[in-house]
Structure 1
Amino acid sequence: MPPSRALRRVVPCALIAAALWPAGAPLSAQEASDAAEPSPIEIGQRFTIASETLGEDRPIWIGLPDGYADSDEPFPVIYLLDGRSHFHHTTGSVGFLSENDRMPQAIVVGVGNISGEQRTRDMTPTPVDGEEVATNPNMAVAGGAGEFLRFLTDELRPWVDARYRTRSFDILIGHSFGGLFITEVLNRDPSTFDAYISISPSLWWNEEAWVAGLDDLFDRHPDAAGSLYMTMGNEGGDMLSGAWTFAGTLEKHAPDDFRWKWTHMPSESHGTVPHRSTYDGLEWTFDGWDPMPLVMAVIRDEKPVEPMLDGLEEHYATLSERFGWEISPSRELLANVGGYLNGEGRRDEAMLAYERNLAWHPEAPESHGELADILAANCRWDAARRHYGHARDIAEAAGNASLVEFTVERLEALEQLYRTAGACEPR
C-alpha cells in the first residue's frame, strides 16, 4: 500500500522515501528497456458463470485491489448490480477512497445483465397487471427477484469466496431497478448483506404499493443491523415520493443498530447519480475509517506522539468491533510518521512510532529494519544488530532476495560503524 496521500501533503517526499524500506531491486538495463514498451492497464477481469438457479450464463466482472497478488490479506466484497454500466467508475472510487484512508481496499464483483427483459425479471419483487405489460412487454416477466437473490447468495457468493481471499463483510450496490431490488433483499432478510447502497430506487413499483408494504419491515426484523445509504437524483414524481415514503419508514421504525441515511441529489440526473452516490455511499458506510486526524495532531500541530499512538489503538479497536474483523493501521502509516519525526529531530518519539509499528506488524521485515536504523543512529548496537537480523531472516524466508541483500548491506555498514565509531554520539 502506498503512503497516504494526506500524509504526503504534509511530510516532505524525501522523508517519506527515507522512512520506507525498498520493495525491490533497481531495474536492470533490460528491464528498463522493457518498461519503455507500452503495456495494458488492467482494472479487472471478465468471467461467465453458468447459473443452475437462473438456467442461463451470467457475465461477471472482478476488480481486485492493488497489491492483491503480493499479500495474503482478505478483503471485503462489493457486489455491484448492472456491472457493465457501473464497474469502471466503482473500481475507480474504491481505489481512490482506499488510497486516501476513507475505506478499506475491497474486491468489486460486477454482476452483468443479458437483456432488458432479463434485468426486469431479476430485479423486480412482484408481478404486475396486464395493463402495465401492454405498455412495456418486458414487464411480462417481472417478479423474479427471489430467484436472482438465490443466485447471488447460493451460487455467486460461494464462487467468489472460493476463488478469492474474502472477508465476511459484503456490500450490495444497486441503481434504479437495482435499488428496488435492494428493498426486496431488506424485506426478506436485512442480514443478507452487511451494507447496502440503493441509488434512485424505483419505488414507484406497482403504483407505490410495494413501498407502502415495507412499512412493517422492521416489525418483522426487529434485530436488523448493518447500514443503508439511499439516494435520489432529479427524477421527481413517484420516484421521489416513493423514496420519501421509505425514508419515513426508516425514520419511524429502523432499530438503533441499523444505520441509514437518505440523500436527495437534485443536481444529478438518473444517469449521473450512480457515480456520486457510490462514492458518497462508500465513504459514509466506512465513516470514521480515516486515521489522519489523529496523525495530523502530531505532524501539523506538533503534539506528543504517544497519545496519538494510544489513540490509534483505540481507533482501530473501535473499527474492528464495528465491522467484525481485526483492523490495524497499515505498516506504511507509522513508518511515515517515524520518518517524519526522525527528520524533525524528534528521535525519541520516532523510536516510539517504530516500536509500536513493530508490535502491529511483527512479521514485516521492513518494521524490523526501520527500527534497526534508528537504534543504530542512537548507538544501540546490539538491539540494531538483532533487528537487522530479524529483517534478513524474514525476507529470506519470503524469498525476497533484493531485501535480503539490502539488509545484509545495512548489517555490514553497522559493523563498520561499530568498529570505527569509538565514542558513539547519537545522531
Structure 2
Amino acid sequence: MYFLLKSRKTSVRILRTFLLTAVFVFSSAAESKTDEVQIVIDFGVRISIASKILGESRNLYVNVPDGYSKTDKRYPVLYVLDGGNHFNHSVVATQYLQKLDRIPELIIVAIPNNEGTRYRDLSLEKENFILFIKNEVMSYVDKSYLTTGRNTLFGSSSAGSFTIDLLSSEPELFENYIASSPFLNTNNSEIYKKFLKTIDEQAQEKSLYFSLTGQAEEGKGRTNSVNQFVDLLTEKPPKKLDWRYEFLANQAHRTTPYISMFNGLTHVFNSYQAPSLSNYKEYISFGGVQGIDMHYKRRAKIYGTDQYTPESTLLNVASMLLSDGQAETSLQIYINLTVQFPESAQSFSGMGNAYDDIKQYEKSILAHKKAINLADKMDTDWQDLFQNRLDKVNEKVSLLNKN
C-alpha cells in the first residue's frame, strides 16, 4: 500500500514500503536470529486538483529528477494515463534508462482514475478528459515545474487507444506517444487519414511506439485492428511520423505496459541516444566524426544538453573502427582524443592498440606506458587491462628481436 506523509497544502509524499529480513548468525550459540526492517522508497508527491472541467477533484502523481530543487534546468515531461497502475514502474523505467544515457531526465506526471471514471474519461466523455489534460493538468504542470514544453504521453489498453486517437486529433499537445495493447475500435482508415492530414501539417516530427502481444491474450478484434493499422502505416507512412510497432511474444495483456514503457521510451527518445555504429560503412554513412558532432549539436538544441561529443562516444567509435580493420581512421580519433582529454588513460591505451595494429610498436609502447601512469587512481581492473596490453606489445617486440 501507499504511505502518505508530510502534507503540504494539496500535495503529499508517495512512498512505497518494503520489508527487509536480515539474518544474523551467532556461531557461539549455533542459532540464527532474524530482524525485520522496513525500507521506504520515495516515488514522489500526490497533488490534488479541483477540476472545473470534470466537476470533481482529481489526483496527480509527480516524480522529479534527482537534484531538481538545486537547479534551474528544464525537463521534458512524461504523462502517464491510468497513473494508479503505471506510476511506480514508469519511475523505475525512466531512472534505469537515464543511467544508461538512453533518455533524458524527465518529470513524470501520472494521472490516476477516480473510481468508476475510466470508461467515462476514455470513451463516453473523452472530449472533456482531453480538455482536462490540456487546460488543467498540462497548464498546472508547466506553471509549477521547470518544463521544456516537450511532452510524451503513455497509455495502455483503452488508454493506449486514447493515446493514438489523441495523436490523430490534437498532435500539437505531445511530441511523443507510447501505446501498449491499444484497441483501435474506430475506422482505421479514418484514423490514418487524420494522421496524413494533421501530423504532416506539424512543424516538427512526431514519434509513435505501439505494441501488442498474441491474439489469444489480446482477442481477435484488437489484433485485427492493430494489424490493419500497421498495414496502412507501412504502405504509405506519414512523412512527419517516426513510428515503430512491436509484437511482444509470450506476454499477457497486463504485462505489455511494462515492456512497452522501456521499449517505447527508448524509441521516442532515439534522437537523444549516442549514435549506434557497428561498422565502417555505417560510420561513413553517418558522416564520420563530423556527423557525430552534428548529432550532439542537434541534441543540445532539443534537450538542452552539452553540445560537445562525449569522450565515451568517440572511444566506442574508435574501438569499433579498429575491430573493423580501419586502424588508420581509428588512430586519428584516438590521437585527437589524447589532445582533447590529456588525462584520459583509456584514450592513450586505445592509441596504443591502434599503433600496435599498424606495427608501430615503439609508439604503441609509449602510449600504453602513458595509460598505465594515468591509471594510478583507477580501479585495478583497468590497471590490469592496460598492463596486459603493454605486456602483449613487449612480447611481440621480443619475438621480433629474437628473429
TM-score, with structure 2 as normaliser? 0.61
- 2:239 maps to which residue? 256
8 Å contact from structure 2 (residues 49, 57) kept in 1: yes
Superposed CA deviations along residues 158-215 of structure 1, whole A, max 9, x for unmatched, are 1111111111110000001101111221231222210000110122x3xxx4434324
Provide structure 2 residue ranges, at least 5 long, that are not aligned to the other structure: 1-36, 280-286, 316-333, 344-403
Aligned: 1:147 with 2:128: yes
- CA RMSD, aligned part only? 3.1
For the Cα contact (< 8 Å) 2:196–2:238, is it kept in 1?
no
C-alpha change, 1:335 and 1:350, in structure 2 (3 Å) is: farther
Structure 1 stretches of 5 or more lacking a match?
1-36, 125-141, 298-306, 339-345, 356-427
Deviation (angstroms), 1:288? 4.7
CA shift in 2, pair 1:334/1:66, >3 Å: farther
In structure 2, the CA distance between the partners of 1:149 and 1:334, relative to structure 1 (3 Å rule), is same
- Give the % identical residues: 28
Distance 1:275 1:198, change over 3 A: same
The separation in 1 between residues aligned to 2:274 and 2:195, in whole angstroms, is 34
Find 1:213's aligned residue among 158, 173, 190.
190
The worse-fitting range, judged by mean Cα deviation, of 308-317 and 173-182 is 308-317
With CA pairs under 8 Å and 6+ residues apart, which has the higher RCO, 1 or 2?
Answer: 1
Q: Matched residues in 2 for 1:271 and 1:38: separation?
A: 29
Structure 1 letter corresponding to 2:147 = T
1:227 pairs with 2:226: no
Conserved? CA contact 2:274–2:313, under 8 Å: no
Structure 1 length normalisation: TM-score?
Answer: 0.58
Whichever structure has more strand as a proportion of its residues is 2
Separation in 1, partners of 2:120, 2:51: 15
Aligned to 2:19: none
Change in CA separation of 1:348 and 1:262 when aligned onto 2, cut-off 3 Å: closer
Paired residues of 1:337 and 1:350 also in contact (CA < 8 A): no
Q: Do residues 318 (structure 1) and 318 (structure 2) align?
A: no
Preserved contact between residue 309 and residue 353 of structure 1 (Cα < 8 Å): no
After superposition, the Cα gap between the structure-2 partners of 1:257 and 1:187, relative to the gap in structure 1 and judged at 3 Å, is: closer
1:180 aligned onto 2:157: no
CA 52–330 in structure 1, closer or farther in 2 if over 3 Å, else same = farther
Residue in 2 that maps onto 1:196: 177
Change (3 A) 1:351 1:191: same
Match of 1:388 in 2: none
More helix by share: 1
Asked if structure 1 preserves the Cα contact closer than 8 Å seen for 2:51 and 2:58, the reply is yes
Rounded Cα–Cα distance in structure 1 between residues aligned with 2:266 and 2:207: 12
CA distance in 1, matches of 2:92, 2:295: 26
Q: Spell out, residue by residue over 1:4-58, the C-alpha distance to the aligned partner (whole angstroms, 9 max, x if none).
A: xxxxxxxxxxxxxxxxxxxxxxxxxxxxxxxxx9874312111111111111111
2:81 matched residue in structure 1: 81
Q: 1:335 to 1:212 in 2, by over 3 A?
A: closer
In structure 2, relative to structure 1, the CA distance for the partners of 1:288 and 1:353 (3 Å cut) is: farther
- Residue of structure 1 in register with 2:48 after alignment: 48
Shift, 1:289, TM fit: 2.8
- What is residue 306 of structure 2 aligned with on the other side? 328
Deviation string, structure 1 residues 313-354 (Cα, Å, up to 9, x no partner):
322123246xx34432699x659999xxxxxxx999556238
With 53-62 and 244-253 compared, the bigger mean Cα shift is at 244-253
Question: Is the 8 Å Cα contact of residues 218 and 253 (structure 1) preserved in structure 2?
Answer: no
Kindly report which structure 2 residues correspond to 1:31-46, keeping only aligned pairs within 5 A, or say none: 40-46=40-46
- Whether 1:278 aligns to 2:256 is no
